[in-house]
């Protein structure tokens, strides 16, 4: 069976190795000079290996994707410089301007991840920055600035080693709730001395620390949040979570959550429609690897990559463990098809972090991008075959034959080994294809512009909720043309510590028209648009889609 | 000469078959035994070791869950989480489901009767644990946190410890069962090992017995063949000796009696002619005398052929000289004779046999070799006589060291050589043709 997959996959790699696009590193020319600071001073603190993430968001709602990059900081007692997160405003011409200070975000904190969502439904995305210690919620004033509302929103008082976060409306009341992943119970005071040679301190593995429960905050709608971790059934003190993605695994219209755990079983929280969740990961077959082992889950994304209507799940793991690629089914059961699909073998020697599904070549099939990088900068001394900097994977979807890794073919800059952590996609130049943002540990962030080899058509929707949450997070858009079908969900979170843009982009290849588009809003409303031409649209819940008048550069 | 043998009577076949049958029976019996033991081992491993291993895995799963519960209870009592006690409900529920499943599998795997008491004890204690857990979470939900915490501290923690002990004991018992089974397996292996040694001994005996029988039968057969060969040789020699004696006697008779008579007849005719023979009878008498002379010549010639008188009178060397001149005259083949050494006393038997060998070798040469020349070498040393007859003719065809076609002449030559305790060899010299080499000892006693 494995061989049956391998033969066409190899043939396609040989004869169709042209992925149809290039990812060109435009970081410098775009004016992005961000460099991550993990604060490493030799103390080998666990969080130094983890950060940090980045996001595509349109914070000023000008129709152009801006970029936010989360930063760490020097540890107390070892201060040498001041580093903060960076907010880059899109100049509509392929360049960005650092507006961090003006936006009021030049706040020093040991940041990890970011989740952008309009929790107060004012039309402007707010920011939740996870951190070591107290994570922070920044409310977007709509005037280009952010206000720290951590205290006011009652999110304060939650200290932890928080990692990925996600905005989603779990009770479908039209207000975005917040899920925060936590890794382990770590603080400087609780730091454990771990050593590989018995003399020198090295980074600990998560086994050295107790797990830490994730948090679920319910949006009361008055600017405050209620910690419903306990009563929602999310509380689990054994969790060591790094990544979180939303999906509707049981197709009931209620958002479920997949949480990637490091050395602990992954969690699949089924939404029970009553404000509580039930972990069904074991029953669904996603808790462990195929041989029953709890892997080191890092990043995660979920999407209908087979265009079957059933979302699949990708989870990045430690080197030697392979990516977990779970194929969805109508019954909500999953099977790890990584090996058969060509993703497993290629990722066997990689330590994966950020990952996401996106249609990079606009051919109607979702690619899987994975960034890699080891956690230990001295790994070479212990495992000669493993490097700290590792090249990313760009698995091009070739339909039933699975995937092949086209990273080396899409540009030397992209394939260059790096200590990858966060990854996100967004169409920053509004040219219809999806560009890529990659963050690295204690290194530069990279912005890659997607240049298609030949023009392809795409259909892009910026969904605006009215009864549903304003960002329409959780809305599912389904596109039909001929015998083709594709679906995408408007999502926050996913990947690792990062967030991709909220608009959904369908690649259509040569197709200039689709027969039908259906949107299933979180409010329960289903809206159908007949016969639509390719292009960019703003779709307001209950009012249909209008052409997005933002001019491309 | 040995006694007449009856090979059928002493045939070893039946004994050999019996030996083979015993060997096969021993091997067959052992195979059956070994297969039986392997089947037993397999059963033991499948039923006890394998199920024991799976059972231990389930127990470890339960223990792992108990340890997770222990940590959770500790966290609950620590109070460093900002959540009410009922927050742990989902966590407990997840572990409970997993433990229930593990316990179900464990019960299925455990062979009936084993650890039954402890099994019942574990199930009962666990059941009580969940009742207490439910109580605690109910109290916690009903805002009776302090009662719940007290129950947690005073009861649930102890129950968890009891359960850990119970599972540990089951694991220890499983381990002991494993060790006992391993010991049983060891005994079986020892038994099989011992049986293999016994098989080896039995097989060794059976094979040795059969081999000894085979060796004995072979020896008997060879001895019988030897006896038969000796008998045949004896007969052949006797025949040859008798033949030579007969020839000598006839030859002497012809020479002495008929020769004398014919000589007398010739003398009488001559005398009659000289004395008073009427002239008309002279011619007749001359004719009669010529006929008598011719008969005398023929008789002498036959006598020489049957047994050359020169052999008795002049010895072997002169006989050879004489015969070679006759042979050259009769066949036109030139014979080069080389003699060396001095022939001493050769006894009565040897000259005639050596002479006959030479005669037969030269006759063969004349008949088959197409050679115009021949070499005869006779060498006497103090203890041996070596005679070689060689030609450059077409030569003999050989099969190994022996000529392909062996007529009666050749057989007779060999018999004569053996009669003289010597050897005869036929070979092809490098230059081609045939070389016949007779080598006989001079001081050997003649049979």
Percentage of residues in chain A having pLDDT higher than 70? 96
Cβ contacts of residue A182 below 8 Å, gap of 6+? A160, A161, A162, A163, A212, A213, A214, A215, A239, A241
pLDDT, tens digit, for every residue of A249-266?
999 999 999 999 999 999
Mean of all residue pLDDT scores within chain A: 93
- pLDDT for A1 beyond 70: no
pLDDT, tens digit, for every residue of A514-543?
999 999 999 999 999 999 999 999 999 999
* Sign of torsion over alpha carbons B277, B282, B286, B288: negative
- pLDDT for A418 beyond 70: yes
Q: Please report the pLDDT score of residue A73 as a whole number.
A: 97
Containing structural domain, residue B345: 314-441
pLDDT, tens digit, for every residue of A269-289?
999 999 999 999 999 999 998
Query: Residue B265 falls within a domain, yes or no?
Result: no
Percentage of residues in chain B having pLDDT higher than 90? 20
Q: Please report the pLDDT score of residue A198 as a whole number.
A: 80
Out of A157, A230, A237, name the one closest to residue B86 (CB). Answer: A230
Beta pairing class for A457-464 and A535-540:
parallel
Contacts of A238 in chain B (CB under 8 A): 68, 71-72, 91
Mean pLDDT of A179-196: 92
**Do B87 and A282 count as a contact with CB atoms less than 8 A apart?**
no
Q: How confident is the model at residue B211 (pLDDT cuts 50, 70, 90)?
A: confident
- The b-or-e profile of A80-119 (16+ CB within 10 A means b, else e) is eeebbbbbbbbebebebebbbeebbbbeebbbbbbbbbbb
Q: Please report the pLDDT score of residue A11 as a whole number.
A: 45
Number of other CB atoms surrounding residue A408 within 10 Å: 12
Residue A342, phi-psi category: left (phi > 0), alpha (psi -120 to 50), beta (remainder): left
Q: Are A298 and A496 a contacting pair, CB within 8 Å?
A: yes
**Do B91 and A238 count as a contact with CB atoms less than 8 A apart?**
yes
Long-range CB pairs of B271-280, under 8 A, 24+ apart, other chains included: none
Mean pLDDT of A473-486: 96
Q: Please report the pLDDT score of residue B12 as a whole number.
A: 66
Given B196, B214, B232, the domain boundary residue is B214
Q: How confident is the model at residue B401 (pLDDT cuts 50, 70, 90)?
A: low
**Do A236 and B91 count as a contact with CB atoms less than 8 A apart?**
yes
Domain count, chain B: 2
**Do A229 and B86 count as a contact with CB atoms less than 8 A apart?**
no
Which one has a higher pLDDT value, B348 or A62? A62
Q: Cα-flanking dihedrals φ and ψ of residue A323, to 5°?
A: -70, 145
Question: How does DSSP assign A208-275, residue by residue?
Answer: GS-B---EEEEE-SSS-EEE-TTTTT---TT--EEEEEEE-TTSSSS-EEEEEEBSS--EEEEE-SSS
Q: Are B145 and B85 a contacting pair, CB within 8 Å?
A: yes
The Cα A96–Cα A69 span in angstroms is: 13
Cβ contacts of residue B107 below 8 Å, gap of 6+? B119, B123
Q: Please report the pLDDT score of residue A347 as a whole number.
A: 94
Which one has a higher pLDDT value, A194 or B397? A194
The Cα A420–Cα B418 span in angstroms is: 104
Q: Please report the pLDDT score of residue A13 as a whole number.
A: 46
Q: Please report the pLDDT score of residue B3 as a whole number.
A: 43
Question: How does DSSP assign B119-158, residue by residue?
Answer: HHHHHHHHHHHHHHHHHHHHHHHTT-HHHHHHHIIIIIHH
Q: How confident is the model at residue B24 (pLDDT cuts 50, 70, 90)?
A: confident
Instruction: Confirm or reject contact between A52 and chain B (CB < 8 A).
Output: no
Q: Rg of the Cα trace of chain B? A: 56
Query: Residue B378 falls within a domain, yes or no?
Result: yes
Helix (H, G, I), strand (E, B) or coil at A160: strand
- The angle, 0 to 180 degrees and rounded to 10, between the axes of the packed helices B51-78 and B89-109 is 160
Mean pLDDT of B374-392: 91
- pLDDT for A385 beyond 80: yes
Residues 190-219 of A with CB under 8 A from B: 210, 213
Cβ contacts of residue B231 below 8 Å, gap of 6+? B1, B2
Closest CA to B377 of B311, B328, B435: B435
**Do B91 and A234 count as a contact with CB atoms less than 8 A apart?**
no
Mean pLDDT of B146-152: 91
User: Based on the domain organization, do B188 and B327 belong to the same domain?
Assistant: no
Query: Residue B294 falls within a domain, yes or no?
Result: no
Q: In this structure, what DSSP letter does residue A418 have?
A: B
Q: Which residues of B touch A (CB under 8 A)?
A: 68, 71-72, 75, 81-84, 86-91, 94, 98
**Do B71 and A210 count as a contact with CB atoms less than 8 A apart?**
yes
**Do A158 and B68 count as a contact with CB atoms less than 8 A apart?**
no
Beta bridge partners of A87: A68
User: Based on the domain organization, do B23 and B154 belong to the same domain?
Assistant: yes
pLDDT, tens digit, for every residue of B274-323?
887 788 888 888 888 888 889 888 888 888 888 888 888 888 888 899 89
Query: Residue B269 falls within a domain, yes or no?
Result: no
**Do B90 and A235 count as a contact with CB atoms less than 8 A apart?**
yes
| A389's tokens | 């900097």
The Cα B395–Cα B376 span in angstroms is: 16
Mean of all residue pLDDT scores within chain B: 84
The Cα A116–Cα B303 span in angstroms is: 144
Q: Are A348 and A322 a contacting pair, CB within 8 Å?
A: yes
Q: Cα-flanking dihedrals φ and ψ of residue A84, to 5°?
A: -135, 170
Q: Please report the pLDDT score of residue B436 as a whole number.
A: 93
Out of A158, A210, A236, name the one closest to residue B90 (CB). Answer: A236
Given B187, B214, B241, the domain boundary residue is B214
Cβ contacts of residue A478 below 8 Å, gap of 6+? A309, A485, A486, A487, A517, A518, A519, A520
The Cα A233–Cα B420 span in angstroms is: 120
User: Based on the domain organization, do B150 and B27 belong to the same domain?
Assistant: yes
Q: How confident is the model at residue A8 (pLDDT cuts 50, 70, 90)?
A: very low
Closest CA to B214 of B362, B416, B19, B412: B19
Contacts of B75 in chain A (CB under 8 A): 210, 237
Number of residues assigned to chain B: 447
Query: Residue B131 falls within a domain, yes or no?
Result: yes
Distance from CA of B83 to the nearest CA of A (A): 6
- pLDDT for A6 beyond 80: no
pTM of the model: 0.72
Query: Residue B223 falls within a domain, yes or no?
Result: no
Cis bond before residue A203 (omega within 30° of 0): no
Instruction: Confirm or reject contact between A159 and chain B (CB < 8 A).
Output: no
Distance from CA of A135 to the nearest CA of B (A): 16
Q: Please report the pLDDT score of residue B299 as a whole number.
A: 86
Mutate to test the interface with B, among A182, A186, A234, A238 (most CBs of B within 10 A): A238
Q: In this structure, what DSSP letter does residue A510 have?
A: T
Residue of B nearest to A267 (CA): B94
Q: Are A36 and A443 a contacting pair, CB within 8 Å?
A: yes
User: Based on the domain organization, do B88 and B200 belong to the same domain?
Assistant: yes
Query: Residue B320 falls within a domain, yes or no?
Result: yes
| A80's tokens | 């040498």
Cβ contacts of residue B285 below 8 Å, gap of 6+? B269, B272, B273, B277
- pLDDT for B1 beyond 80: no
Highest-confidence segment of A89-98, B309-318, B388-397? A89-98
Query: Residue B202 falls within a domain, yes or no?
Result: yes
- pLDDT for B4 beyond 50: no
Contacts of A233 in chain B (CB under 8 A): 89-90
Given B183, B198, B214, the domain boundary residue is B214
Q: Please report the pLDDT score of residue B405 as a whole number.
A: 65
Residue of A nearest to B74 (CA): A237
Mean pLDDT of A492-508: 96
Kindly report the CATH number assigned to the domain that includes residue B375: 3.30.565.10
Q: Please report the pLDDT score of residue B411 as a whole number.
A: 83
- pLDDT for A7 beyond 50: no
Number of helical H runs and strand E runs in chain A: 8, 38
Mean pLDDT of B261-273: 86
């Amino acid at each position: 069976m494995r061989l049956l997959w391998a033969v066409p996959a190899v043939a396609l790699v040989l004869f169709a190795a042209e992925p149809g696009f290039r990812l060109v590193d435009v970081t410098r020319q775009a004016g992005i000079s961000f460099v991550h600071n993990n604060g490493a001073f030799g103390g080998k603190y666990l969080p130094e290996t983890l950060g940090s993430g980045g996001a595509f968001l349109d914070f000023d709602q000008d129709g152009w994707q801006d970029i936010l990059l989360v930063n760490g900081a020097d540890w107390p007692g070892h201060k040498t410089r001041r580093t903060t997160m960076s907010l880059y405003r899109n100049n509509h011409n392929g360049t960005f301007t650092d507006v961090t200070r003006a936006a009021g975000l030049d706040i020093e904190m040991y940041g990890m991840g970011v989740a952008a969502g309009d929790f107060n439904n004012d039309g402007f995305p707010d920011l939740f920055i996870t951190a070591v210690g107290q994570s922070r919620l920044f409310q977007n004033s709509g005037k280009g600035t952010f206000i720290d509302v951590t205290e006011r929103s009652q999110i304060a008082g939650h200290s932890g080693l928080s990692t990925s976060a996600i905005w989603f409306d779990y009770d479908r009341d039209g207000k975005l709730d917040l899920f925060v992943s936590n890794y382990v119970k770590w603080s400087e005071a609780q730091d454990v001395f771990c050593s590989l040679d018995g003399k020198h301190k090295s980074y600990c593995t998560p086994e050295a620390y107790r797990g830490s429960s994730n948090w679920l905050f319910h949006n009361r709608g008055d600017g405050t949040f209620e910690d419903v971790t306990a009563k929602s059934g999310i509380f689990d003190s054994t969790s060591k979570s790094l990544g979180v993605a939303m999906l509707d695994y049981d197709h009931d219209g209620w958002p479920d959550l997949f949480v990637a755990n490091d050395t602990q079983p992954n969690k699949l929280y089924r939404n029970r429609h009553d404000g509580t969740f039930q972990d069904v990961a074991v029953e669904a077959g996603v808790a462990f690897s195929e041989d029953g082992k709890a892997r080191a889950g890092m990043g995660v994304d979920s999407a209908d990559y087979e265009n079957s209507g059933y979302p699949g799940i990708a989870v990045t793991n430690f080197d030697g463990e392979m990516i977990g690629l779970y194929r969805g089914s109508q019954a909500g059961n999953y099977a790890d098809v990584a090996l058969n699909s060509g993703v497993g073998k290629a990722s066997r020697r990689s330590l994966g972090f950020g990952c996401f599904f996106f249609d990079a070549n606009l051919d109607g099939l979702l690619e899987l991008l994975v960034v890699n990088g080891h956690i230990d900068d001295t790994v070479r001394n212990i495992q000669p075959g493993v490097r700290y900097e590792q090249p990313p994977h760009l698995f091009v979807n070739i339909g039933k034959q699975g995937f092949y890794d086209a990273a080396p073919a899409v540009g030397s800059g992209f394939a260059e080994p790096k200590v990858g952590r966060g990854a996100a996609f967004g169409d920053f130049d509004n040219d219809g294809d999806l560009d890529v943002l990659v963050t690295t540990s204690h290194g530069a962030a990279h912005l890659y512009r997607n240049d298609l080899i030949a023009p392809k058509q795409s259909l892009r929707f910026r969904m605006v909720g009215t009864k549903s949450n304003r960002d329409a997070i959780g809305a599912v858009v389904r596109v039909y043309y001929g015998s083709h079908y594709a679906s995408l969900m408007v999502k926050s979170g996913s990947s690792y510590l990062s967030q991709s843009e909220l608009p959904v982009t369908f690649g259509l290849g040569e197709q200039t028209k689709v027969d039908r588009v259906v949107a299933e809003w979180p409010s329960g409303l289903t809206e159908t648009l007949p016969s639509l031409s390719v292009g960019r649209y703003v779709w307001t819940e209950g009012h249909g889609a209008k052409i997005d008048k933002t001019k491309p550069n | 000469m040995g006694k007449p043998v009856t090979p059928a009577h002493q045939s070893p076949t039946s004994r050999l078959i019996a030996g083979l049958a015993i060997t096969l029976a021993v091997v067959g019996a052992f195979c059956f035994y070994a297969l039986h033991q392997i089947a037993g081992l397999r059963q033991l491993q499948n039923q006890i070791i394998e199920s024991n291993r799976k059972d231990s895995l389930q127990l470890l799963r339960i223990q792992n869950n108990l340890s997770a519960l222990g940590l959770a209870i500790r966290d609950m009592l620590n109070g460093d989480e900002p959540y009410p006690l009922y927050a742990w409900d989902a966590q407990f529920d997840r572990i409970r489901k997993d433990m229930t499943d593990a316990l179900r599998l464990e019960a299925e795997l455990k062979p009936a009767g084993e650890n039954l008491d402890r099994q019942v004890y574990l199930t009962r204690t666990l059941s009580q644990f969940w009742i207490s857990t439910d109580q605690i979470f109910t109290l916690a939900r009903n805002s009776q946190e302090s009662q719940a915490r007290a129950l947690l501290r005073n009861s649930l923690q102890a129950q968890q410890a009891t359960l850990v002990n119970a599972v540990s004991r089951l694991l220890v018992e499983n381990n002991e069962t494993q060790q006992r089974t391993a010991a049983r397996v060891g005994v079986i292996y020892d038994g099989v090992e011992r049986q293999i040694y016994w098989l080896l001994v039995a097989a060794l005996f059976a094979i040795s017995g059969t081999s000894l029988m085979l060796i004995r039968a072979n020896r008997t057969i060879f001895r019988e063949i030897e006896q038969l060969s000796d008998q045949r040789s004896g007969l052949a020699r006797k025949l040859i000796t008798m033949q030579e004696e007969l020839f000598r006697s006839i030859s002497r008779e012809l020479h002495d009696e008929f020769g004398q008579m014919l000589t007398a007849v010739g003398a009488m005719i001559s005398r009659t002619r000289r004395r008073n023979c009427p002239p008309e009878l002279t011619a007749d008498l001359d004719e009669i005398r010529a006929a008598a002379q011719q008969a005398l010549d023929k008789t002498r010639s036959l006598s020489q052929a049957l047994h050359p008188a020169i052999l008795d009178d002049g010895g072997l060397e002169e006989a050879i000289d004489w015969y070679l001149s006759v042979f050259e005259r009769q066949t036109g083949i030139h014979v080069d004779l080389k003699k060396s050494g001095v022939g001493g006393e050769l006894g009565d038997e040897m000259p005639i046999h050596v002479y006959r060998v030479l005669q037969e070798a030269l006759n063969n040469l004349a008949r088959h070799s197409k050679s115009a020349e021949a070499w005869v070498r006779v060498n006497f040393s103090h203890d041996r006589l070596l005679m070689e007859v060689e030609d450059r003719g077409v030569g003999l065809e050989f099969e190994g060291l022996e000529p392909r076609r062996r007529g009666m002449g050749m057989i007779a030559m060999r018999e004569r050589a053996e009669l003289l305790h010597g050897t005869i060899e036929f070979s092809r010299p490098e230059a081609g043709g045939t070389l016949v080499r007779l080598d006989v000892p001079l001081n050997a006693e003649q049979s």
